[in-house]
Amino acid sequence: MTFQKILFAGCSFTADCGFNENNRSKYHWPCLLEQHYDVMQTNIAIGGCSNEEIFHRAVEACIEIRSDLAIVMWSQLERQWIYFDDNNIDDFTIINNGIIKGNNSHRKEALTYAKLHYVYFNNQYMNLKKWLLQCIALANFFENHHQPYVFALGFSNLINSFKKIKYNNGFIDLDDVCKAVLDFDNRPDDYIWKKINVLQNLIFQTSKLNWLDFNGSSFFDSQVDVADDGGHPGVLSNQKLYQQFVTYIDQRELL
């Protein structure tokens, strides 16, 4: 008997969502989808995964594995994955602000790298721009490989903040977070408006891809309870997301 296959890619929301091994199969949304459709799942998600890493791993998996559906839940903009050069091939180190994990997380260089990055190089404008381009590129890659897919928002990633900004003899709905991202106090209005237009155009293009709910709440923002670890979205949150996926998949006859 040949089973259909779903490929899952993402961060901890997709890897285990904070559920222990005994509860994961009962409550975690990828497991619920696997059971609902009686399919096999290949889950390449890893806790702490950056969007860049999700992009590359999804491309690699699509090349190596033929799946009937790929589901990609994107992560936070700020996350970084680095690879040490010496005595290493592909062991990753996860850097998420002050949290460092991975095989080389104990090394002082990782802490130094994290401090330098988040103090001097965490450019949120470019983080958002590159992520939107990664979404567009991965969607095009999937389509060229005839790979059905669905994207989902793990985090909102400033999308809603930038979508609503307007200009009429001054900026409208430009919040303090976006002001900081755009170097508002040091740049002229016409320059800032051009940069906003770049993001808004990319957001518009990205919105046309196959999303579960691009204009709705992210998984993080819609969280109503917690899992076994006391932090990740819990049973009710996973159940709601699972039901959203079932509705989306059934309406489009993806499985």
Question: Does the residue 165 lie in any domain?
Answer: no
Range of the domain at 115: 81-121
Question: Does the residue 216 lie in any domain?
Answer: yes
Question: Does the residue 171 lie in any domain?
Answer: no
pLDDT at res. 158: 96
pTM of the model: 0.95
Question: Does the residue 222 lie in any domain?
Answer: yes
Whose tokens are 């940069």? That residue is 195
Give the largest Cα separation in the chain, rounded: 65
**124-144 helix and 51-64 helix, angle to the nearest 10 degrees:** 10
pLDDT per position as a tens digit, 43-94: 999 999 999 999 999 999 999 999 999 999 999 999 999 999 999 999 999 9
CA 174 to chain centre: 24
Question: Does the residue 27 lie in any domain?
Answer: yes
Mean pLDDT of 28-33: 98
Strands lying side by side in the sheet with 93-96: 80-82, 93-96, 99-102
Total domains in the fold of the chain? 2
